[in-house]
Amino acid sequence: MLKPLSEYEILAEQAHGHLCAGQILGLRMALFGVKLLGIEDPAGADRKRLVTYIEIDRCATDAIPIVTGCRLGKRALKFRDFGKVAATFCDLREGRAVRLLARDDAKRRARELYPQIANKNEQQMKAYRELTDTELFDTQWVRVTVGPEDLPGYKGPSVRCAECGEGINFKREILVDGRVLCRACAGERYYQPL
């Protein structure tokens, strides 16, 4: 079952290493997302219903799994590096999804609400606990097609890259001129072998 925000804050602080405005924002975002989808026990009974896409790797990112239970290692948290404070919550059972974007003016709202608090993080933490869901987030209902190879629990053969010989799971291989290549050998390598 969902807990009060204050209880999630304790868990988020433990997981993230400190409590910050980004944590509050991430918790609020996840709570709003599951509320819109009508998912009452995301980390428990409903844990197989939810997949979350997150579009930034920042403080708020760490807070989202605290509420949703969606973790990278469980394949229920998907990172798309778009540099936006946004996340999409997908209800696999009902086949619907909602994308939430943190509003640009939330920081300004925090300044207006608590001008007497000089510390920006303190100011924003307090405001982000109190602003309404719609003051904090823009809501967009979207369609997300989650392929079977992207679902938690997918079982399939791994294949071997014709270039480097490394194993590739979850159909991440790319066919180039009839050869099965890993994404690194196909040109997406982010590292240079020394």
* Footprint on this chain of Zn ion (rule: CB under 5 A): 20, 22, 59, 161, 163-164, 182, 185
- Give the nearest distance from C-beta 172 to Zn ion in angstroms: 11
Structure tokens at 175: 């066919």
Task: With beta carbons less than 8 A apart as the criterion, state whether 69 and 47 touch.
Answer: yes
Number of Cα atoms under 13 Å in the Cβ half of residue 62:
18
- Give the nearest distance from C-beta 177 to Zn ion in angstroms: 14
Structure tokens at 123: 């100011």
Task: With beta carbons less than 8 A apart as the criterion, state whether 162 and 58 touch.
Answer: no
Structure tokens at 98: 């909602």
Of 68 and 91, nearer to Zn ion (C-beta) is: 68
- Give the nearest distance from C-beta 18 to Zn ion in angstroms: 6
Of 63 and 90, nearer to Zn ion (C-beta) is: 63
Of 122 and 163, nearer to Zn ion (C-beta) is: 163
Of 72 and 164, nearer to Zn ion (C-beta) is: 164
- Give the nearest distance from C-beta 31 to Zn ion in angstroms: 18
Cα separation, 61 vs 38, whole angstroms:
21
Would you say how long the chain is, in residues? 194
